[in-house]
Amino acid sequence: MKAIRLAFLLAIVAMVLAPLAAFAADGAAVYKAKCASCHGPDGKGETTIGKSMKLRSLASADVQKITDADLTKVISDGKGKMPAYKGKLSADEIKALVAYIRTLK
């Protein structure tokens, strides 16, 4: 009986918490909407624009060794032809993008 009550309680907790997770910025969705046009859906930059800009693959060791702080800076302030996203994306969204870039390697 106790186990059933515990399972029931956990189910309620999960139901309460699930909508909260939806508020966290979704790095994959933001990436697809704002970044994939240049960097490609997989971050490799093998798009027409990406090739013309000679983009490095975001999955490459060279890019992956850049610190979170520096990736945040590139996305916020831009770099060369890379547009600045400060003001266009929230700090949470940029943080989610950095986390997303880490999943590309």
Task: By CB under 6 A, name the binding residues for ligand HEC.
Answer: 34-35, 37-39, 49, 53, 55-56, 58, 63, 71, 74-75, 79-83, 85, 97, 101
Backbone angles phi, psi at 77, to 5 degrees: -100, -15
First to last CA, the chain: 46
Smallest gap from Cβ 42 to ligand HEC, in A, equals 13
Q: Which run of H or E residues covers position 68?
A: helix 68-77
- CA separation (Å) from 24 to 72, 101, 104? 17, 16, 20
Judged by beta carbon, residue 10 or residue 84, the one nearer ligand HEC is 84
Q: How far is the CB of 84 from ligand HEC (least distance, A)?
A: 10
**Residue of this chain nearest to ligand HEC (CB atom):** 80
